[in-house]
Amino acid sequence: QQQVKQSPQSLIVQKGGIPIINCAYENTAFDYFPWYQQFPGKGPALLIAIRPDVSEKKEGRFTISFNKSAKQFSLHIMDSQPGDSATYFCAAKNNAGNMLTFGGGTRLMVKP
Amino acid sequence: NAGVTQTPKFQVLKTGQSMTLQCAQDMNHEYMSWYRQDPGMGLRLIHYSVGAGITDQGEVPNGYNVSRSTTEDFPLRLLSAAPSQTSVYFCASRLRQGYEQYFGPGTRLTVT
């Protein structure tokens, strides 16, 4: 049973486009929502994260939008570049737990 | 700082063989964990540890053992390998009071 559902599984955009990756969760005890970026042959690395007391967070070209009532959050990549081609994972952490629950991942390709 | 290191990078096993995947971190992190990554399934937690001498099961613990005799090391043992354990394995660590998890480069395991 996957507690964090991520979509789409794959995404292709042109350079300069704005890919959007969505995640939904059920557990209202989650209190930390990170996004990880993974390049082929490497481990995931933290990209950006948000807590449920804010609705949006921006870091450079990456933005998380958070909708607490809908239990959904999404990653937007502004002015996407071929170097952004990677697999992206959303995740959530329970305020009473120790570890992260991950979504299924989205493989993004940005065409030049 | 080497961060989180994993060995070996690749491994092929026959069904029924045993082996140990090594993980070490030099950041003095209390929390360490093992994940497996399978296509479309994201990263699933196998076992984790909140400190030396303390381990607990994650989402998919069957067929795997762990121990944590030191803060730095967290080996994962496969007692009798099965084809279903073919996967990419990632070790991760973080501070007790922190949220960001640091991942190793992964071990690609194939069981024939």
How does pLDDT run across B19-77, given as a tens digit for each residue? Answer: 999 999 999 999 999 999 998 788 999 999 999 999 999 999 999 999 999 999 999 99
Neighboring chain B residues of A89 at a CB cutoff of 8 Å:
42-43
DSSP class per residue in chain A: --SEEEE-SEEEEETT---EEEEEE--TTEEEEEEEEE-TTS--EEEEEE-TT-SEEEETTEEEEEETTTTEEEEEETT--GGG-EEEEEEEEETT-SSEEE---EEEEEE-
pLDDT for A99 equals 76
Tell whether A2 lies on the interface with B, counting CB pairs under 8 A: yes
Interface of B with A (CB under 8 A): 4, 31, 33, 35, 40-45, 48, 50, 58, 90, 92, 99-101, 103-106
Q: Do A93 and B48 touch (CB under 8 A)?
A: no
CB-nearest partner of A45 from B35, B50, B103: B103
| pLDDT value for A2 | 59
Cβ within 8 Å of B, A 13-32: 32
A112 touches chain B (CB under 8 A): no
**Is the separation of the CB atoms in B35 and B44 below 8 Å?**
yes
Q: How near does any CA of chain B get to the CA of A29, in Å? A: 16
Task: Give the model confidence (pLDDT) of A6-62 as tens digits.
Answer: 999 999 999 999 999 999 999 888 889 999 999 999 999 999 999 989 999 999 999
Shortest CA distance from B6: residue in chain A: A43
Distance CA A82, CA B9 (A): 27
**Reported confidence tier of residue B96, pLDDT bands at 50, 70, 90:** confident
The per-residue pLDDT for A29 is 86
Please report residues of B whose CB lies closer than 8 A to that of A105: 40, 42
